[in-house]
């Protein structure tokens, strides 16, 4: 929030803080530019008249340097010309002082909701392209394609099972793309990534006196909703979900008006849900309702003949995405990849390909370079990962930190950048895991770690 009047800054900061927003304050354009670069804000409240540089000039500077977050201009001397100029420069809205608290909060809420929808639409455009492509010519992949072609045009609910990284997300998107709802929204609810206390709100939305926030169910009306890793839901949320599915409607949290469901549900899991129904950790009624049509995605080790096709697909998609020079895998390198065990499945394979392509090397990717990238291990023979270089003459704290950095980088790479898979491998709870990675200076969003949702 940028305003040269300290009293206004403090009052608005208190109001917005009470509403749950984190607010950074600036009293002039110089402070604003520093804060803008440092915090990458989700929204900016920007006064027009300031002592050094006016707000519209500042807005135009930011617009010249990339995509703007929503910017709401404020002015105590507002004119039509100022408002028009602000909107033409990229502002989301214009508010006159003295500010109405109610209008301010509504304007902020709408601006943030619009921003979120733009982000989701961008993701959906990405997901509707190559990410729905099932790559390979093996009998298992051909059968999977046939299953998708058979069930996609129906309105049946589907359960997609398979190991982490095997291709469940691609399978779900392929089902949507081949369905009668392909022109409708495609919404993924990653249940494993949502804190349990927020799941009800994320799924069903919320109503308050200031308006409503739609949840995943409401956003997916007319299209497809993917309940990703449904086996991770606790029994209380399972009961809430069963009730909504049986009644074919739901209520937003805090709301009284029911919302009718007109959507297709695809659930995914890496668990054996039938076994979980036997031990009482997954409700039988929910299992039978979601498992109307089961589809199983095989692990990569069961169709290794598809590795060359997958590598070729990943090479072309990654060099296009990252604007990298083309590099070809030699026959010996491809053969070595075909003889790996791939515990992280297709996600792990893609991560290896990406890691090799973003290196500064030129020419074909030969076996020696590949083996070095793999840590010179043979996963089929169960060889151990290379020992991290931890000097025994270091203090214990520094040695432990060096080992932890090597450990988490190795497993994060093998997991293809998936925090859920890293949590499973390390046995750590996700919240503690995020803190640990931050403390070690490891960014799971770095290009070396990032991978498509497979």
Do 261 and 403 share a domain, yes or no?
no
In a domain, 138, yes or no: no
In a domain, 1, yes or no: no
Do 155 and 15 share a domain, yes or no?
no
- Tokens 């039988």 belong to 284
Give the helix/strand (H/E) hosting 315. helix 307-322
pLDDT by residue (tens digit) across 81-100? Answer: 777 777 877 888 888 888 88
In a domain, 407, yes or no: yes
The sheet carrying 71-75 orders its strands as: 44-47, 71-75, 93-96
Record the pTM: 0.58
pLDDT by residue (tens digit) across 102-145? Answer: 889 999 998 888 877 766 555 444 444 445 689 999 999 999 99
Do 234 and 151 share a domain, yes or no?
yes
In a domain, 80, yes or no: yes
Do 410 and 452 share a domain, yes or no?
yes
Over 90: is that where the pLDDT of 441 sits?
Answer: no
Least confident of 27-36, 119-128, 287-296, 347-356: 119-128
* Number of compact structural domains in the chain: 4
Provide the domain limits for residue 410: 387-454
Do 156 and 248 share a domain, yes or no?
yes
Do 260 and 196 share a domain, yes or no?
yes
Check: CB of residue 91 under 8 Å from CB of residue 74.
no
Do 178 and 200 share a domain, yes or no?
yes
Do 284 and 165 share a domain, yes or no?
yes
Do 152 and 294 share a domain, yes or no?
yes
Which residues does 93 contact at the CB level (< 8 Å), separation at least 6? Answer: 70, 72, 73, 107, 110, 111
pLDDT at 390: 59
Over 80: is that where the pLDDT of 283 sits?
Answer: yes
Tell me, what CATH number does 332's domain have? 1.10.8.60
Domain end among 381, 403, 433: 381
Q: Quote the CA–CA distance of 433 and 439 in Å, as a whole number.
A: 10
> What size, in residues, is the chain?
454
Q: State how far the alpha carbon of 355 is from the alpha carbons of 34, 220, 444, 450, 451, in Å.
A: 34, 35, 14, 10, 10
Could you give phi then psi for residue 262, rounded to 5 degrees? Answer: -135, 80
pLDDT at 128: 43
């Amino acid at each position: 929030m940028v305003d040269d009047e300290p009293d206004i800054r403090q009052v608005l900061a208190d109001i917005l803080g009470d509403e749950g927003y984190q607010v950074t304050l600036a009293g002039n354009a110089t402070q604003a530019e520093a804060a803008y670069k440092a915090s990458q804000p989700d929204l900016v409240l920007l006064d027009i008249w300031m002592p050094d540089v006016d707000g519209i000039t500042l807005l135009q500077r930011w617009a010249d340097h990339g995509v703007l977050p929503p910017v709401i201009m404020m002015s105590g001397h507002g004119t039509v010309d100022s408002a028009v100029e602000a909107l033409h420069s990229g502002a989301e809205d214009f508010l006159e002082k003295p500010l109405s608290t109610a209008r301010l909060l509504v304007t902020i809420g709408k601006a943030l909701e619009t921003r979120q929808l733009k982000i989701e639409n961008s993701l959906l455009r990405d997901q509707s392209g190559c990410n729905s492509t099932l790559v390979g010519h093996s009998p298992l992949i051909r059968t999977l394609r046939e299953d998708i072609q058979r069930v996609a045009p129906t309105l049946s609910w589907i359960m997609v099972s398979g190991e982490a990284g095997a291709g469940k997300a691609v399978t779900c998107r392929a089902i949507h793309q081949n369905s009668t709802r392909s022109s409708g929204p495609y919404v993924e609810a990653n249940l494993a990534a949502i804190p349990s206390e927020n799941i009800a709100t994320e799924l069903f939305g919320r109503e308050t006196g200031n308006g409503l926030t739609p949840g995943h169910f409401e956003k997916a009306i007319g299209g497809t909703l993917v309940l990703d890793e449904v086996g991770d839901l606790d029994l209380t949320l399972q009961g809430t979900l069963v009730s909504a599915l049986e009644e074919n409607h739901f209520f937003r949290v805090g709301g009284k008006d029911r919302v009718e469901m007109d959507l297709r549900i695809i659930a995914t899991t890496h668990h054996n849900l039938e076994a979980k129904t036997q031990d009482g950790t997954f409700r039988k009624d929910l299992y039978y309702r979601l498992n109307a049509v089961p589809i199983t995605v095989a692990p990569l080790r069961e169709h290794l003949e598809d590795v060359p096709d997958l590598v070729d697909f990943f090479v072309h998609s990654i060099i296009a995405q990252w604007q990298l020079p083309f590099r070809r895998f030699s026959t010996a390198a491809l053969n070595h990849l075909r003889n790996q065990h791939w515990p992280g499945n297709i996600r792990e394979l893609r991560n290896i390909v990406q890691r090799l392509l973003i290196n500064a090397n030129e020419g074909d990717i030969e076996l020696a370079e590949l083996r070095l990238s793999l840590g010179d291990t043979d996963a089929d023979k169960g060889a151990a990962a290379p020992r991290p270089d931890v000097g025994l003459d270091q203090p214990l704290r520094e040695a432990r930190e060096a080992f932890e950095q090597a450990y988490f980088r190795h497993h994060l790479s093998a997991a293809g950048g998936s925090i859920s898979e890293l949590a499973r491998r390390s046995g750590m709870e996700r919240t503690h895991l995020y803190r640990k990675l931050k403390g070690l200076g490891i960014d799971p969003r770095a290009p070396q770690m990032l991978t498509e949702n497979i």
